Amino acid sequence: MSAQTIGFIGAGNMARSLAGGLLANGWSAQQLLLADPDPDQRRGAEQALGLKTFDDNRAVAAAADVLVLAVKPQVLHTVATDLAATVQRKQPLVVSIAAGIRIADIERWLGGNLALVRVMPNTAALVGSGASGLCANARVSAAQRDLAESILRAVGVTVWVEDEGLMDVITAVSGSGPAYFFLAMEALEAAAVRHGLDARTARLLTLETAFGAAKMALEGGEEPAQLRRRVTSPGGTTERAVQALEGGGLGRLFDEAVAAAITRARELADLFGKN
């Protein structure tokens, strides 16, 4: 556990999940500060975590050794420029979890010459099973990289990329990825109902099957392709179902989906970065 203070700008779901993960990993409540202009968000964070919250972003920024920017990307420019003078005096490690905003733009809004880590988390962080991609600028030291990683590892797994352009791919894979799996679960559940199962049974079987498959892939030490082959008996029901999915272009559709998300991530980064 570090002795440093972490300040969160924004007290929404992602900030709360990170703060909650840090508390569970041994950080003290005194080391974690949250700021949010919305009294309901502050009240929710206080009730859920027992942490002190503030309505003034600059008060938290002035006290933070690590400043986590946990606000929506469309308001980050306004928030960052308001914090610039305070951040320049304090010189914290800045960690941004605002989706799609490039390091150069965040650093420019904050006044420059800062150690800054950009993070793409995903919504599974809310249940402690997140998958986050991280990218650092050249001013981030090895110790600061470890510190940033420890914050995100409190809610799941982390991967580093050196090429910031790959953050758009991470956005398309893990950032947007939960929605792909929710869509697949939704479709499988609906198919089960159409073929005679009641809705409650269809949902239970679908969700437990998805959970079990993910658990096997994580813990079994085999690639998904090999796991698929092991449960696909020649001439059996699974083989026929897999042939139907492949014949419908499942692989191509996933490739198109990821490509579309990458394109949109780059469009949004260009749009938000115009400020």
pLDDT in tens, 83-134: 999 999 999 999 999 999 999 999 999 999 999 999 999 999 999 999 999 9
pLDDT in tens, 67-97: 999 999 999 999 999 999 999 999 999 999 9
Query: Which is nearest to 273 in space by CA: 72, 70, 69, 77?
Result: 77
Tokens of 226: 């090999």
Q: Cα dihedral sign for 18, 20, 24, 29?
A: positive
CB 61 within 8 A of CB 1: no
Q: How far is CA 82 from CA 14, 109, 113, in A?
A: 22, 9, 17
**What span, in angstroms and rounded, lies between the C-alpha atoms of 20 and 51?**
10
Written as one letter, the residue type at 164 is E
Phi, then psi, of 236 in degrees rounded to 5: -95, -175
Query: Which is nearest to 171 in space by CA: 267, 272, 68, 274?
Result: 267
Note down pLDDT in tens along the chain; length 275 residues.
Answer: 567 999 999 999 999 999 999 999 999 999 999 999 999 999 999 999 999 999 999 999 999 999 999 999 999 999 999 999 999 999 999 999 999 999 999 999 999 999 999 999 999 999 999 999 999 999 999 999 999 999 999 999 999 999 999 999 999 999 999 999 999 999 999 999 999 999 999 999 999 999 999 999 999 889 999 999 999 999 999 999 999 999 999 999 999 999 999 999 999 999 999 87
CB 33 within 8 A of CB 51: yes
pLDDT at 206: 98
Domains of the chain: 6-167 (3.40.50.720), 177-267 (1.10.3730.10)
Name the 3-class secondary structure at 144: helix
Q: Is 205 left (phi over 0), alpha (psi -120 to 50) or beta?
A: alpha
CB 125 within 8 A of CB 138: no
pLDDT at 80: 98
Buried (b) or exposed (e) across 72-98, using 16+ Cβ within 10 A? ebeebbebbeebbebbeebebbbbbbb
CB 96 within 8 A of CB 75: no
Q: Which residue has the tokens 């073929």?
A: 195
Find residue 156's DSSP bridge partners: 130
Contacts for 214-219 with beta carbons within 8 Å, 24 or more apart? none
First CA to last CA across the chain, in angstroms?
37
**What span, in angstroms and rounded, lies between the C-alpha atoms of 211 and 29?**
33
pLDDT at 2: 60
Burial group, residue 183, by CB count within 10 angstroms (0-12, 13-18, 19+): exposed
Name the 3-class secondary structure at 119: strand
Q: Dihedral (C-alpha) 214, 215, 218, 220: value to the nearest 10 degrees?
A: -120
